[in-house]
Structure 1
Amino acid sequence: MASSARSGYAIKCRLVEASLAAMKAMRQVDPRVRFLQIEPVVHVAPPADRPDLQPLADEVAGYQWQVWDMLAGRSEPQLGGGPQWLDVLGINYYHSGQWEVMTERRLYWHLKDPRRKPLGDLLTAAWQRYDRPLLIAETSHVGVGRAEWLEEVAAEVERVRRQGLPLAGICLYPVVDRPDWDNLDHWHRSGLWDAAATEHGKPPGPPGRVLCRPYARALQQWQRRLPHDLTPDSTDPGKPAMSTSLIVFSHLRWDFVFQRPQHLLTRLGRQHPVYFFEEPVHCEGDAWLEQLPVCDGITVLRPHTPLAGGGFDDAQMPVLRRLLDQWLVDEGPAEHLAWFYTPMALPLLDALDPQAVIYDCMDELAAFKHAPKALRQREAALLKRADIVLTGGPSLYEAKRDLGRNVHCLPSSVDVAHYAPEHVTRDCEHYLAAEKLQSHLLAPRLGFFGVIDERLDLALLAQVVDARPQWQFVMVGPVVKIDPEQLPQRPNLHWLGQQSYQRLPALVAGWDVCLLPFALNEHTRYISPTKTLEYLAAEKPVVSTPVKDVVTLYGEAVRIAGTAEDFAAACDAALAETPEQRQARLRQGAACVARHSWDAASRKVMSLIDEVLAQRAALLSELDVPDDEVMAVDTLPGALAPVADPLAAARLQAVLIAPAAAR
């Protein structure tokens, strides 16, 4: 390893020497010429079970600075380098640029490896080391992950530009797809345009061009947004920018199942720090508040209390309020939005002074088993108080649209790159773990992943399992609110328990049909299963009971069956589909998936938030009252919701304003 590193270093020295000679010759001809020096930025981590290798990982990561250090004269001064030869830093950034030391395994982007370092942090490190302007000189991803990759890269660029980094822009490579350097028959599908392929996988010559529409849409949106994002929030790029934070109250734990809250908030957290306040857990002794940084931009606040009552119970409220008050005093954000996933936490709103209140109504919680008696009353109050209400699907939207003043349908979406078959990497630990769980099960395999609770039709599932004893049924997910003893047990029915979000694509890759065996009852009247799109993104045939939102949103791409007999027959048809039927299904599924992405959903949420905050600012401007002299009054619910006449709104809401001295 050492000799390999030295050999690479010697080549770098020769290349730098040649580059310096060329630059000096060019400046003799024209002293105005400036140079873009392009190198990759990388991150190297130790294997999870070898923290002792951290020093070696840091050493290997440090190799990324060698060329720039030589050009700047910081090392190997005999080469003739100096600060004047380092004009602009060109950054190459690809998903493969983060890996484990020694094993060389990638920290997979599409699997959301928690050890990955945000691009903004890598850019900041380069700027702090050299104090030179930067440019993303080359970046892209492959296949269905292109749009999501650009969303993440552009959001990180926006973040560091707000902090004051002099970053000029982003260059995508390639614009038109290209073949592999070593295999001209393999095309990467990494361009804005793909090369049109024949049935043999080779593009006709000359290749035609097929626009990657999700990638193009993301590019257009960021081309409009980034050029105007030139005002830094901070003069010190080493410090985080000041921005409005989100204080989120949730009945779901962050580390339970990776679903709608995690998808939305991890994206919003790129621009706005998120504090995720969970239900309390029981402890002995004094109450205390645990703070867990779980990923970039997200901190979980987990109360520990000695009280017996669970959830946001009334008995817990005085203790939770005290913990929240103390956190706000010690380190809480001055400017924040309040975001609710459960109305049961509504009494804690009194502790805050939010710029706006958001209610993400992802489920009809009052219809769930063991729902608190106070939930309906608190939800009614929250719907009136909220400035923005989001609903998890069209059925919920129809039920809530007239109960709030600014209600929007925001169906759950999908992380396409995470589930795409081309991204199921056979050498990663999650694939190996999935193989260990199910490789011994003979085909065909039919599978389900998700929370296993009262919403599943266990009787239907048992009938289908009995009707097809030659099939293997794989059920993945935690069992909650029902007795595990109630789960049907059969030789060909396998309950694998909860598995990580990173492992799900590898499990699904081994299934022949994906299932949505939901009951049709009061518990499922308003559900809009996120997993439908995730199954479609994995390019699997899907069979579902006639859940209203599944039929409405995805009916053209999903087989629908209402009885056990019809469900089994639909699975028969899925397993027996012809190549032509498969291609038609894939086209229909891709069309559904293309309409829904978490990046687009998070942009819509940010747009709604911006509108509400702009209306708030306009109101304060009309009344000529400083922002820090605003006092929210609960007797005027929905005070900041959109209104047709801003002047009328200002007069109506004048009681919201109180001099600071009077508070």
Structure 2
Amino acid sequence: MKKKDIVILANIEWLFLKQRHQNLAENLVDFGYNVVFVESAAKRNPQIADIPRIFSRLLKSVKTQTPHSDAAVNVVSPFVLPSTFKINRLFNKLFFVKKLASKISSYFKNDECILIIYAPTSTNLQLIDFLKPSKVIYDCVSNFEAFKEMPADTVQIENQLIKEANAVVVDCEFLLQKHTALSKTIKIIEPAVDFKLFNRFFKPQSRTKLRKLIYYGQVDPLKIDINLLNFLAEKGILITIVGGVKSTDISNLIEILPVVKSDQLPEIINKFDAIILPYNVNEYTNGIIPAKFYECFATGLPIVATKMYNFLRYENLLITGNTYDEILEQINLFTISSDTEHALERIKIAQNNSWQKFTENFSDVIETA
């Protein structure tokens, strides 16, 4: 029996910090699927900072071979115009998307495929028309309506995608409530964690006070409360960021380290007293549960967090507050004895959110949609 062809239209690069998209691709290969991972297509007009990435895409597009991961995922780098103007969409439909669809289908082992889509864009709707998949699954992990860089008709495109999809998957309660009315079939599949990797350095009662906090991931002003990080740094809390920073407003008191591979993260995290999840509370973050959330739980470390919508059900397991001063006060009041049971509870929750279980749930959606 031939392997079913799965095409993942991702909204990130393959080599970006490993998360839901790449883990799903690799695990579906282990489940017996033939997977084609299509990296993020242009969604907005390019800026100066995008020039290196554009040149990289051009180089990839002229190469005869496409890079493969260790898990035998076929990775395709699309070259299309940003779907911001009607003329761009027309050229995409006539030339670039047609060529991209041909490139994607060259990896197929069957006459038709199953599409998993991560972003509501006109390019992805065009790919549905060209690839003619047997099933379309929309894995929605963002509140795109609140993302200002997306085209003005994003809501209409997303509604069309939801109506065309055989199934919709979301990763949080907010998105479930938002899309239930339009979807035929909708299901929550939360982020997952490589538990053994992130739990391996856990030592009960290993921290007596919280002075060194780490945040890992990209610092985007839309998502991350930079003012909170600066405030804590100015109050004597040692803050380290591991990842890219899209802001010039970061205090020089904050240490910034480059991105590292996922398998190197736990050893770095273990050098700190706690993890901080300094997310803004706004319309965009209402639709986010960070991909790293259960990774943080698996470490057993205390977690400092804002009162973001999708954190509220775990509020008793977090160090949090309604204001910067309240958060600082809770950090200063922290005691190991008060967190021992909470740490074990966080670890148990993380254990129940493995990538194996995640992929089983997603495979079930694929097969039953």
TM above 0.5, one fold? Answer: yes
Q: Is 2:262 the counterpart of 1:459?
A: no
Shift of 1:531: 2.0
Matching residue within 324, 329, 352 for 1:595: 352
Aligned position for 1:523: 284
Q: Is 2:267 the counterpart of 1:506?
A: yes
For 1:592 and 1:487, how far apart are their aligned partners in 2?
33
- Asked if 2 retains the 8 angstrom alpha-carbon contact of 1:282 and 1:308, the reply is no
- Unpaired stretches in structure 1, ≥5 consecutive residues: 1-232, 234-241, 425-442, 613-663
- Structure 2 letter corresponding to 1:449: Y
Aligned position for 1:300: 75
2:67 aligned counterpart, secondary structure: strand
Shift of 1:583: 2.5
Shift of 1:557: 1.9
For 1:402 and 1:304, how far apart are their aligned partners in 2?
34
Aligned residues: CA RMSD: 2.6
- Unpaired stretches in structure 2, ≥5 consecutive residues: 43-52, 204-209
The 3 A distance-change label for structure 1 pair 319 and 292 is farther
For 1:395 and 1:286, how far apart are their aligned partners in 2?
37
- Structure 1 letter corresponding to 2:240: V
Q: Is 2:17 the counterpart of 1:261?
A: no
The 3 A distance-change label for structure 1 pair 311 and 412 is farther
2:257 aligned counterpart, secondary structure: strand
Aligned position for 1:478: 244
The 3 A distance-change label for structure 1 pair 581 and 311 is farther
Aligned position for 2:50: none
For 1:308 and 1:610, how far apart are their aligned partners in 2?
33
Aligned position for 1:387: 166
Aligned position for 1:332: 108
- Asked if 1 retains the 8 angstrom alpha-carbon contact of 2:97 and 2:127, the reply is yes
- Asked if 1 retains the 8 angstrom alpha-carbon contact of 2:202 and 2:299, the reply is no
The 3 A distance-change label for structure 1 pair 463 and 538 is same
- Structure 1 letter corresponding to 2:120: P
For 1:294 and 1:286, how far apart are their aligned partners in 2?
15
The 3 A distance-change label for structure 1 pair 382 and 304 is closer
1:412 aligned counterpart, secondary structure: coil
- Asked if 2 retains the 8 angstrom alpha-carbon contact of 1:251 and 1:311, the reply is no
Shift of 1:423: 8.6
Matching residue within 169, 182, 185 for 1:406: 185
Shift of 1:556: 3.2
Q: How does 1:217-616 map to 2 (within 5 A)?
A: 233=1, 242-270=2-30, 271-278=32-39, 279=41, 282-283=54-55, 288=62, 291-304=66-79, 314=89, 315-327=91-103, 330-334=106-110, 335-344=112-121, 345-422=124-201, 444-453=211-220, 454-467=222-235, 469=236, 471-479=237-245, 482=246, 484-490=247-253, 493-552=254-313, 554-574=314-334, 577-578=335-336, 580-612=337-369
- Structure 2 letter corresponding to 1:601: F
Shift of 1:311: 12
- Structure 2 letter corresponding to 1:298: V
- Structure 1 letter corresponding to 2:26: T
Q: Deviations over 1:303-353 (max 9, x none)?
A: 346x67789962444333232343256443324201101121221111112
For 2:102 and 2:136, how far apart are their aligned partners in 1?
21
The 3 A distance-change label for structure 1 pair 489 and 368 is farther
- Asked if 1 retains the 8 angstrom alpha-carbon contact of 2:84 and 2:151, the reply is no
The 3 A distance-change label for structure 1 pair 510 and 260 is same
- Asked if 2 retains the 8 angstrom alpha-carbon contact of 1:288 and 1:303, the reply is no
Greater mean deviation of Cα atoms: 453-462 or 591-600: 591-600
Identity in percent:
21
For 1:275 and 1:390, how far apart are their aligned partners in 2?
19
For 1:594 and 1:247, how far apart are their aligned partners in 2?
29
For 2:328 and 2:77, how far apart are their aligned partners in 1?
44
- Asked if 2 retains the 8 angstrom alpha-carbon contact of 1:516 and 1:545, the reply is yes
For 2:259 and 2:137, how far apart are their aligned partners in 1?
30
- Asked if 1 retains the 8 angstrom alpha-carbon contact of 2:229 and 2:239, the reply is no
- Asked if 1 retains the 8 angstrom alpha-carbon contact of 2:202 and 2:300, the reply is no
- Structure 1 letter corresponding to 2:239: F
- Structure 2 letter corresponding to 1:351: F
- Structure 1 letter corresponding to 2:251: P
For 1:354 and 1:347, how far apart are their aligned partners in 2?
12
Q: How does 1:168-179 map to 2 (within 5 A)?
A: none
Shift of 1:372: 2.1
- Asked if 2 retains the 8 angstrom alpha-carbon contact of 1:364 and 1:396, the reply is yes
- Structure 2 letter corresponding to 1:567: I
The 3 A distance-change label for structure 1 pair 287 and 328 is closer
- Structure 2 letter corresponding to 1:599: Q
Q: Deviations over 1:576-628 (max 9, x none)?
A: x13x334212222123213322211110111122223xxxxxxxxxxxxxxxx
1:572 aligned counterpart, secondary structure: helix
The 3 A distance-change label for structure 1 pair 310 and 262 is farther
Aligned position for 1:51: none
The 3 A distance-change label for structure 1 pair 609 and 329 is closer
For 2:82 and 2:3, how far apart are their aligned partners in 1?
37
Q: Deviations over 1:537-574 (max 9, x none)?
A: 0110001111111112x233222222111111222233
- TM-score normalised by the chain length of structure 2: 0.85
Bigger radius of gyration, 1 or 2?
1
Q: Deviations over 1:390-434 (max 9, x none)?
A: 00111111111112110111111211111013499xxxxxxxxxx
- Structure 2 letter corresponding to 1:503: Q
The 3 A distance-change label for structure 1 pair 317 and 277 is farther
The 3 A distance-change label for structure 1 pair 530 and 374 is same
- Asked if 2 retains the 8 angstrom alpha-carbon contact of 1:417 and 1:423, the reply is no
- Asked if 2 retains the 8 angstrom alpha-carbon contact of 1:514 and 1:541, the reply is yes
For 1:298 and 1:350, how far apart are their aligned partners in 2?
23
- Asked if 1 retains the 8 angstrom alpha-carbon contact of 2:3 and 2:109, the reply is no
- Asked if 1 retains the 8 angstrom alpha-carbon contact of 2:192 and 2:354, the reply is yes
Q: Give the length in aligned residue pairs.
A: 342
- TM-score normalised by the chain length of structure 1: 0.49
2:317 aligned counterpart, secondary structure: coil
- Asked if 2 retains the 8 angstrom alpha-carbon contact of 1:475 and 1:494, the reply is yes
1:246 aligned counterpart, secondary structure: strand
For 2:329 and 2:93, how far apart are their aligned partners in 1?
52
- Asked if 1 retains the 8 angstrom alpha-carbon contact of 2:298 and 2:350, the reply is yes
Shift of 1:487: 2.2
Greater mean deviation of Cα atoms: 278-287 or 451-460: 278-287
1:585 aligned counterpart, secondary structure: helix
